[in-house]
Structure 1
Amino acid sequence: MKHESSLVNRLTERLIAGELRPGARLSEAALAQEFDVSRNTLREAFRVLGEQGLVEHIPHRGVSVASPRTADVVDIYRVRRTVECTVLAQAPRGHPNAAQMLRAIEEGRAAAEAGDWLGVGTANMAFHNGVVALSDSARLMRTFGNVLAELRLAFLKVELLDFLHAPFVERNGEVYEAYVEESPAAAAALLGTYLGDSERQVLGAYARAGED
């Protein structure tokens, strides 16, 4: 069970980092060799990832990385608003995990200057993970990691990373500044508007791409 859990975490981290693309087929043989695990262990990890909505089992074709639909995007953002805004509104001032948010902002700005939009996306994921880290809840962090992995797949599906991420590089900084200089409640209000704008942007990209 320990090996399966570790493998699930490692594969989820790859999804969050954008290393696995929506619809990509996952080779049992290649991954079992790469991670030095049995195929049975890998299949159990696939089962868990399937329950989390991160991979799809297609009869006679094996396992592929999930490709989120429009309804999935709507649900992902519903969860994000509930989790992120609630955590941020209730966070104490000066929480040490806020350093994760600041570090992610700096990494995002550097990646944007370099034109590395995949890197900007990774930094953005780290920023929002930092927001949830203010909860001091390991269980909530594990659950939110799954949400971030699904979100990354939604972003990669439309392949407009600069369009999706550029407007939010500085808005991450605005949320952080509101948390530090004003109040957690003010930061949460900003984040709520931010997430609403982000959701509309992703759904618009889906519509233009003809995705359901």
Structure 2
Amino acid sequence: MSAQPGPSPNARQYALTALRERISAGLWEPGEKVNEQELAATLGVSRNTLREAFAALSGDGIITRVPNRGVFISSPGIADVRDIYGARAALEPAALQWGRDLDVGLLSQIVTATEEARGRGDRHAVADANQRFHREIVAGLGSPALDETMARLLARMRLVFVRVLAAEPDFHAPYVDENRQVVGLLQARERAEAAGLLRVMIMRTGDRLADLLR
């Protein structure tokens, strides 16, 4: 008897992307158990496909598989913050300095939307727009591989922020003005200066998050 074919690459990628988007949107809490059967039905994929996506997320440190208990959303700590922000401090400034597809107009629009959200006190919209700002910076490199890397980092970041925002609900608010400064430098064609400012911002944010998680 021939072996049954495994899930198609397209199905695996669809499930993986959908899971990362759900985590980035804050739909699960750190430590929360994932209902595999319900999730497979919601996504319209098989349990085998879902398990392959879980295996990839486990490798990224986003979920944890516990034998005989199931799949749980990871609860990141200080080491995770250092890893995430070290990677971002290398990737995002490079995108600002050398990204050939960098859309400064779009970045400015995102900052404007963030400013408006902050003005009306919509903390969730501020956090979402801030993530989009950083995702679009990396998109300026025009590399699907680096876009996927950033998607993994953003999913892990969201889990960090779920823990932090309970203690500091306005955590993102001060960074709106700094994002505007970055855009201003880009509009002035000072890409190296914008990259330097962003790197300082990212490293400082990582230090602040690590302190909050102690």
Same fold (TM > 0.5) = yes
Distance 2:113 2:67 in 1: 41
1:67 is aligned to 2:90:
no
Q: Which residue of 2 is the match for residue 191 of structure 1?
A: 198
Of residues 121-130 and 111-120 in structure 1, the stretch that sits farther from structure 2 once superposed is 111-120
Residue in 1 that maps onto 2:145: 139
CA deviations over 1:116-169 (Å, ceiling 9, x no partner): 212211111100011111111111111111011111111112224534201101
Question: Contact (CA 8 Å) 1:112, 1:166: kept in 2 or not?
Answer: yes
Return the match for 2:169 from 149, 159, 162.
162
Given the alignment, which residue of 158, 182, 188 partners 1:152?
A: 158
Q: 1:204 aligns with which of 188, 204, 211?
A: 211
1:127 aligns with 2:167: no
Picking from 88, 105, 112, the partner of 1:106 is: 112
> Alignment identity in percent?
33
Q: CA deviation at 1:182?
A: 4.1
**Unaligned segments of structure 1, at least 5 residues:** 208-212
The 3-state SS of whatever aligns with 1:67 is coil
Two-structure CA RMSD over aligned residues (Å): 1.5
Unaligned runs of 5+ in 2: 1-8
Count of aligned pairs between the two proteins: 205
Aligned residue number for residue 6 of structure 2 = none
- The superposition leaves residues 29-62 of structure 1 with CA deviations (integer Å, 9 ceiling, x where unpaired) of 1101111211111111111111111111112220
Counterpart CA distance in 2 for 1:173 and 1:21 is 30
- For residues 206 and 163 of structure 1, what CA distance do their matches in structure 2 show? 16
Equivalence for 1:85: 93
Q: Which has the larger radius of gyration?
A: 2
1:36 paired residue number: 44
